[in-house]
Amino acid sequence: MTPNLNSSDNLFVANLQSVSLEKLVKSKLEVLFAQQKEAQVELNGLYNVVLEQVEKPLLELALRAYNGNQVKTAQMLGINRNTLKKKIDNYKIRVKKMN
């Protein structure tokens, strides 16, 4: 059974501020799985794709919030600065430092 993509369970821009990140991601994944089933194609590497699509913007926005300061950004994220640096390099994130 294909889910009704127009049901009230789906999330629209108007209510994004009141929706948790978990519900937003779940809604998007439900649509993806429905499309995959309808198209009868196999999804490969989905776990890494989802992590990248969440982690990269998180890192970019966190770095922007701390004006590119990697020490403060890593502390805010709860990760080691070396780990942050590896992720910045892996995702090819341009760190803009503002004075």
Instruction: List, for residues 17-27, the tens digit of each pLDDT value.
Output: 788 989 999 99
| Alpha carbons 14 and 36: distance in angstroms, whole number | 27
- Residue 8 inside a domain? The answer is no
| Cβ pair 84, 53 in contact under 8 A | no
Total domains in the fold of the chain: 2
The pLDDT score that the predictor gives to residue 34 is 93
Same domain, 64 and 20: no
pLDDT score of 7 more than 70? no
Give the structural domain span for 63.
Answer: 45-99
The pLDDT score that the predictor gives to residue 31 is 92
The pLDDT score that the predictor gives to residue 83 is 98
Same domain, 27 and 72: no
Same domain, 39 and 23: yes
Same domain, 40 and 50: no
- Sign of the alpha-carbon dihedral angle for 76, 77, 83, 87: negative
